[in-house]
Amino acid sequence: MQQIVVNNIRLYAYHGCLPEEARIGSEYRCDVEVSADLTASSYSDQLEDTVDYVSLTRIVKEEMQTRSALLEHVARRICERIMAEHGLVKEAKVRVAKLCPPIEADVEDVSVTWKTTR
């Protein structure tokens, strides 16, 4: 089993429990790691034989635009879409981080990591 990793996808979105978060929004960072048998693509050198990281990034961007109160909700949705759209993927792991969250502490980010297996 091999991995494809897309790190540090930066986005602006409107997730959170507070009304201000829905109105103002925040910066987010997402990391995606998928495991799949990439043997065929390593020989064929053809995009259709692998998991396209452009597609993984598109899924993240689209799902991040659907508002959620909780990061757990959006992370699960991203994993489910990856599994639904990429039959080659055996395991998907997604980390969604809210940068500079609205809490009373000096915190760089808060994050949720979600992992789904087939």
CATH of the domain at 13: 3.30.1130.10
| Contact assessment for residue 74 and residue 64, using Cβ atoms and an 8 Å cutoff | yes
Which position among 61, 90, 93, 98 bears the catalytic label?
98
| pTM across the whole model | 0.93
115 a catalytic residue: no
Q: What is the pLDDT of residue 112?
A: 98
Total domain count, the chain: 1
**Whole-number Å distance between alpha carbons of 117 and 73:** 17
Residue 37: give the domain boundaries. Answer: 2-117
Query: Could you say which residues of the chain have pLDDT below 50?
Result: none
Q: What single-letter amino acid sits at 105?
A: A
